[in-house]
Structure 1
Amino acid sequence: VLAALKEKGYEPIGQLVGYFLSGDPTYITNHNGARGKIRRMERDELLEVILAAYLQKFGN
Structure 2
Amino acid sequence: MTERHEGTMQYKFDMENNEKIKEILREVYEALKEKGYNPINQIVGYILSGDPTYITSYKNARAKIRKLERDEILEELLMSFIEEK
Same topology, TM > 0.5: yes
Q: Which residue of 2 aligns with 1:19?
A: 46
Q: Which residue of 1 aligns with 2:69?
A: 42
Q: Which residue of 1 aligns with 2:59?
A: 32
Aligned residues: 58
**TM-score, reference length from structure 1:** 0.93
Gaps of 5+ in 1: none
Percent sequence identity over matched residues?
Answer: 60
Gaps of 5+ in 2: 1-27
What is the Cα-based RMSD across aligned positions, in Å? 0.5
Q: Which has the higher helix share?
A: 1
Q: Which has the higher strand share?
A: 2
Question: Aligned equivalents of 2:44 and 2:67: distance in 1?
Answer: 17
Asked if 1:3 is matched to 2:30, the reply is yes
Deviation readout 1:18-43 (Å, 9 max, x if unpaired): 00100000000000000000000100
**TM-score, reference length from structure 2:** 0.67
Larger radius of gyration: 2
Taking CA–CA contacts closer than 8 Å with sequence separation of 6 or more, which of the two structures ends up with the larger relative contact order? 1
